[in-house]
């Protein structure tokens, strides 16, 4: 269950979020000035994240990219926008600069893992639009239930995502690098 704290604070910014006390129990995101607080992901979600990270790591490295789990992504065009994708793929240069957060322009792929109806609605709704607006070229949604499924989006010329593939079985992808992903492995 996610909570929103606009009534008590007003319009949230990344700077205002940075002034909150450190909190290891929750994940904080900002969407158009609204602070969204979610619990840390449960075990099935973490297993899927690890499986995806392992599947992407070698192919990403072979093309000069790196996979990073659960890091903050901001866009310096807006101070009221901060997301925490479950996985991102960034350049090795961006990784080696050891940032606290990644600029959306450095993110080649954002991946969200959906384990329930609420997260599915956000991942296919608000996050789909937000990542497209930020210009992230590739966006994947890994669904855990009712059965594992991968939905792959690619940024189109119009600045919106177009669906490339939806699969419950193994899928070979060529963008942002060549990789085979088997949604059945999300639960291993």
CA distance 146 to 178: 27
CA distance 108 to 41: 23
Residue 67 lies in a domain: yes
Look at the chain and report how many structural domains it folds into: 1
Q: Give the sign of the dihedral formed by CA 124, CA 127, CA 133, CA 139.
A: negative
**154 in Cβ contact with 174 (< 8 Å):** no
Residue 33 lies in a domain: no
Residue 2 lies in a domain: no
CA distance 34 to 1: 15
Q: What is the pLDDT of residues 12-60, one digit of tens each?
A: 999 999 888 988 889 999 988 999 998 888 899 999 999 999 999 999 9
Residue 31 lies in a domain: no
What pLDDT is recorded for position 3?
45
CA distance 112 to 28: 15
Structure tokens at 114: 């959906």
| Residue span of the structural domain in which 138 resides | 41-187
* CB atoms inside a 10 Å sphere around CB 40: 12
Global pTM? 0.90
Domain containing 86 — which CATH number?
3.90.1570.10
Residue 11 lies in a domain: no
Residue 8 lies in a domain: no
Residue 87 lies in a domain: yes
Range with the lowest mean pLDDT among 35-39, 54-58, 168-172, 177-181? Answer: 35-39
Residue 49 lies in a domain: yes
What is the residue whose two structure tokens read 């239930």? 145
């Amino acid at each position: 269950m996610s909570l929103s704290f606009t009534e008590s604070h007003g319009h949230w910014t990344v700077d205002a979020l940075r002034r909150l006390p450190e909190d290891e129990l929750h994940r904080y995101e900002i969407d158009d000035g609204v602070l969204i607080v979610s619990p840390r992901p449960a075990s099935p979600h973490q297993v899927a994240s690890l499986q995806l990270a392992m599947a992407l790591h070698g192919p990403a490295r072979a093309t000069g990219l790196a996979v990073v789990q659960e890091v903050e992504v901001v866009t310096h065009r807006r101070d009221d926008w901060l997301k925490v994708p479950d996985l991102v793929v960034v350049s090795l240069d961006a990784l080696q600069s050891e940032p606290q957060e990644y600029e959306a322009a450095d993110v080649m792929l954002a991946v969200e893992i959906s384990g329930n109806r609420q997260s599915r609605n956000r991942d296919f709704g608000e996050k789909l639009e937000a990542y497209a607006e930020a210009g992230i070229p590739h966006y994947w949604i890994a669904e855990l239930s009712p059965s594992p499924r991968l939905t792959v989006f690619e940024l189109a010329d119009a600045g919106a995502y177009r669906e490339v593939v939806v699969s419950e079985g193994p899928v070979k992808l060529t963008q942002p690098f060549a990789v085979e992903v088997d949604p059945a492995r999300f639960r291993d």
